[in-house]
Chain A
Amino acid sequence: MKRALAVFAALAASSAFAQQNDWSIDLASGVAVMEEVSPLVFRVTNAASSAKTIASFTIGIPSQPYDIDGAVPPAGWRASAIDRRNRRVTFTAMGACGTPNTGLRPGQSALFEVRVLPVSQSRDQSNQNLDRNRTRVVDVCNTNANFRNYTGSSAWQLVGLAADVRTSVRALDVDDQLTVTLTVTNNSTATQNAIAPAAPVVSGTAAFTLVSGPTPASVSNLAQDAVATFSWVYRATARGSATFAARAQNTQVSSPTAVSSGVLVSAFPAATIATPSSVVSGGTVTVRVLPTNNGAETLTLVTPLPLSPTGPATVTPLSGPTPSQVDALSPRATTAFTTTWRVTGSPGDHVVFSGSVTAQTAAGATLTSDPVTSGDVRIDEVTVTASPEAVLSGAGATQIRYTVANGSRQPISSLEFIKPDANLFRTPSATAVPSGWTAGTGSRRSGISFTANNAAAQLQPGATQTFTIAFTSIGATTVNTPVSHKVQVTFADTTTVRTWDVVTVVVNRPVPDVLLPIAVATTGRAYFTWSNPSAHDGVLILRAAGAAPDTAPSAGVRYPPGTALGNATVVYEDALSFNTSFADTGLTNGTRYYYRLYNRDEFGLYSAGHVPAPSPGNNLLVIPPGTGASDPLWCTTVGLPALQQPYTDLGKAVYQSSNGAFITGSTITAGAPVNGNEKWRPTLTRGVVQARPTALRFGGAGEPSIFVGDQLGYAYRLNGGTGAITWTGNGGAPLGEVIQAPAVVAVRVFTNAAFQAAYADDLVFFATRNSANRASNSVTALAGATGARVFTYQPGDLDQVTGPVLFDYAGNTLWIASARASGPSLRVLDVLNPAAPPLLTVSDLGDIPSGVARNGNANQALVVDRSGVARAYSISSRTPAWELNVGGTVTQPLVTWGADFFVSTTTGVQRYHVDPGTNTVTAVWAAPTPLNNPSSVRVDAINGKLFVGDGDGWLRRLDAATGAVERSVKVSTAGGVSMPSYDSTAGLQRVYVGTADGRLCVYPSTFQ
């Protein structure tokens, strides 16, 4: 009896004690979306008044209308049982019973995630809640931890619309636009009308203004499983980062608020992309860091910094980064650094990556890019990867391959591909059914099912299998529309999970071309370089012999190398690549090959191939040279007229500008391999450059500085070592309408004391060719170091200046020759007092398009007007010395050589000798050498030879003594060639000439 009383007392005490154990469950976040795996996060709290620790508990989900997909415990816990059949999840603390930090002690709480898969209803449902009878604390430690029913606000909402928000770009700069797209899928069982979006909420430090949208304002008649898209266009107005959150609804159904990935507005952003977004544990993820140079100058030594993975999943680096460094990144170009990682963990674990790079500016400063974090990479029990990931809006018959990876512990016995939007993905049917599997009609919304015929055929843990579904056609959309392709997976034990991948229906849209493609032709070989825009996945290069490629690639189609496309052959193709060079070898020397480059974006859309220009002559012409005496050593091709005289940095490099509005630098090699590979990626100018580059080395610098103006009136100084623009003169403002004349530099260290007292810097003179008001032309002196304007000579009667001016170091005078629609066409300015009237004005001459030349032997300034009247003036006294009619139209600059000078008229070339004592001028050759529209000559003073290009595309070598044509080679069959340059370096002796068909060719001076 006593013992019975003791037991009773103990039970009573135990019972009384149990009454003090309370716990609560509150919904921390989450909305259940019909037919979508939806994470619900619950905050579980052990009441402070409890006497016991919670070491294990079970959450019961109502069986109607939910399935359980999975669960994610907090640190120190595990999902010890996921009972899909009975819709319950048991979480258990990982420590041993009684260990102080095991479980939830009184007063503690933690977040537990349960992923549910709700089946469809006709409309939204509120107050969805846990199954109270099956949600309870488990006394796993046998401590009589009897807890009462939980309290708290654990209810959630079940909604019928799935939502997805994406932005057209993830990295941009101020004034750039982006499109925000909200895609909603009607997962309810009813057709929905009047679905309208709420205006996106922009959160973050970046600022945007709405340009247009939403488009459309609402959508009706949206059937079950159908998708609709709403889009807005925004313009970035301030730098920073931001996200866009959007949702849609009608009176029956709504979507959760979906948030876009982060968008960065920056001058130097680096987006990080991790693919695929879903892996089984142990799977491999490829991470690409994509820096974009939104600035105006080329960045160099672009180097990736170590990646920062964040999240509960464990990641292990496998390879990369590849490449480890990129030499240069042109403005508006993007490059990529690729690493691969192994991801391990439990289903539901996830990780994001954030990467950044450093780069050097022209001034030597180090820039660090602003990082853009990747999307989530999650670990799933089963993953499906769709290929292709994008299909073209309105496409015909299309097959999609779904590769299923089984990362679970159970074999997969059947799969059901739930039919996506029937309007977009029309009439699916199974095709190429794997051996051992049978295709049929699924039970859920008439999907396509694949069932293993027997246990041996089931998809075993760790294995993958590809299933293919054919669609009769793809519907039309007006904006890119991501559509979730869901797969219901049934394991051998009859439990199920849901997995999915996104296939985007893309609208054919303009895709930017590759930037600045250059080809270098050498014997049997063509070497290409280009830069990639940010909207990029790969490049396609076509080659045709004898004629330009006549067929463009089709959107969504990949063409392996060797594929015939019209009259052309695919010679290069890549994907998921930011490669920027390719060598096409095995070419036949002398054959005219026409190449065209196409950029392809992530959706498989191709650019128009409008590089170098949208025209019938749009191609890169490559003629591999042979090894004969008439063959060039190499030719570079930019595809647009390059008729300026190249500038040769003797023995080191050659610089050329073209109508492509960029300047190139090519290396010079003396021995094999002889080529003209890029010294740096071309430097973009704002306008076309037709002025010869003026290059000087200052203070023993290892690399020259290059001064040049463009046809939009901008003046530049470039670093010859890197191609970077050191400055755009006059504070970035144009000096006039057009700069056609080459720049002239007064190098201060060579000037006299008076100049050095007046100016603390070199002066760079740029003259204008204004045509709207021809009397408004000017000559501006810019500071050599900074490009700041020092003075402008704009008298109000100066006509166009298209030839070089002459700076006289002894007298500090500037000789300016111009056209003469107004005012005199020759004037001499006192540089020390530019505001004063000119020291000399000459109105007797007509237009002088060819500038002023200096005869050093006689210390005379030489000018010749368009009609062929040449005059010389004493530079020191500014008095006339002599006058001569050379008998022809002259537009090319005079070239002086000792006491002699050469004149190129439109019909030939003549050499004249000036007797400095008598100022008599005599023709040296018996007669002018007849040539059609020749350029100015380039003198080989050592060997007494002249090089000249003509209007028929010939490069000629003349004997300087007689004018006889000794050598001729046809450089171009399409138009003329430029004034040549000559490199007299011992062992080189090469001649450089530009062509109207967009090439720069290099010949040995002994060409035949």
Chain B
Amino acid sequence: MFIRTILRAVIVLTPAMLACSEPGRHLELVTASDVEVRPPEPLVTPPVLEVLPVAPVYQYAEPLPLPARHVVTVTLVPAGARRLRDVQRVNVDVTVDRGAVGQRRISAAFVSPQGLAWETQHATVDLAPGGIAVAHFSLPVASTFIEDQNLFGAWQVTTLDDGVETAAAGFEVTP
């Protein structure tokens, strides 16, 4: 690589230049107005400016979503009913917020007082950024096998968010 240099001024000889005693090398004082010269070869390989290994930490512009949250509301219908014969249905409303944006599959798993899985119901909610959604579930009781089998006692309902257990609640029906 050549560098085109224009020498127009008086060259100032520095002590270092005058001290050069390398065999075969000498200085030429040139006053020409336009000459092309090769730059001197570096005596020592110049230091390469390397990028320091900065700790590669991710810095996201958006915070990660908080874990999904369910608030479970259990209502026995009609209001005030507790007996197997009287409870027409158990409504389970799951208020969903936080977590991933978009479609999510919310499930409610009902477990009988005997500890046996009774049934699982599913609903799909669509969560907007910062929004909430409510998933509705309903368990028929009177005149179903729950009444036929006398399944009174403490029931449990576990809610799941895309298959991950998220919350639980209970309710009780009497004989």
Contact = CB atoms under 8 A, between A and B. Distances in A.
A759 to B, nearest CB: 30
B109 interface: yes
A660 B101 CA distance: 29
A612 interface: yes
Contact of A478 (B64, B77, B120, B163): B64
Contact of B129 (A212, A996, A998): A212
Interface stretch (A74-82, A147-155, A636-644): A636-644
B95 interface: no
B144 A615 contact: no
B148 A975 contact: no
Interface stretch (B18-26, B36-44, B54-62): B54-62
Interface in B134-174: 138, 140, 142-145, 147-151, 156, 158, 160, 162-165
Given A512-B163, A974-B116, A228 B158 contact: no
A217 B62 contact: yes
Q: Chain B interface residue count: which class? A: 35 or more
B67 interface: no
A618 B109 CA distance: 11
A771 B116 contact: no
Interface string A957-991: 00000000000000000111000000000000000
Interface string A779-805: 000000000000000000000101000
A740 B102 contact: no
Contacts of B55: 223, 423
Name the residue in A189, A612, A641 with the highest tally of chain B Cβ atoms < 10 Å from its Cβ: A641
A228 B51 contact: no
Contacts of A996: 114, 116, 149
Interface string B84-102: 0000110000000000011
7 contacts: A212-B102, A228-B58, A614-B107, A659-B118, A737-B140, A738-B140, A975-B112
A218 B116 CA distance: 49
Nearest to A191: B54
Nearest to B151: A975
A951 B62 contact: no
B109 A615 contact: yes
Interface string B101-143: 1110001010110111111100000000100000000101011
B53 interface: yes
Given A219-B58, A660-B119, A933 B150 contact: yes
Nearest to A659: B119
Contact of B114 (A510, A688, A975): A975
Contact of B102 (A191, A211, A219, A608): A211
Contacts of A659: 118-119, 145
Contact of A219 (B60, B150, B156): B60
Name the residue in B51, B120, B150 with the highest tally of chain A Cβ atoms < 10 Å from its Cβ: B120
Contacts of A608: 163-165
A902 B166 CA distance: 48
A305 interface: no
A614 B51 contact: no
A891 B164 contact: no
A607 B51 CA distance: 43
A177 B59 contact: no
B148 A607 contact: no
Interface string A585-622: 00000000000000000000001101011111110000
A849 B141 CA distance: 13
Nearest to B107: A614
Contact of B54 (A223, A643, A849): A223
A607 B164 CA distance: 10
Interface string A218-262: 111111101010000101000000000000000000000000000
B51 A221 contact: no
Name the residue in B103, B129, B147 with the highest tally of chain A Cβ atoms < 10 Å from its Cβ: B103
Interface string A189-230: 111000000000000000000011001111111111010100
A88 interface: no
A769 to B, nearest CB: 6
Given A191-B51, A224-B53, 10 more contacts: A211-B102, A216-B61, A217-B62, A423-B55, A613-B119, A614-B158, A617-B115, A771-B88, A933-B150, A996-B116
A614 B165 contact: yes
B109 A613 contact: yes
A681 B24 CA distance: 94
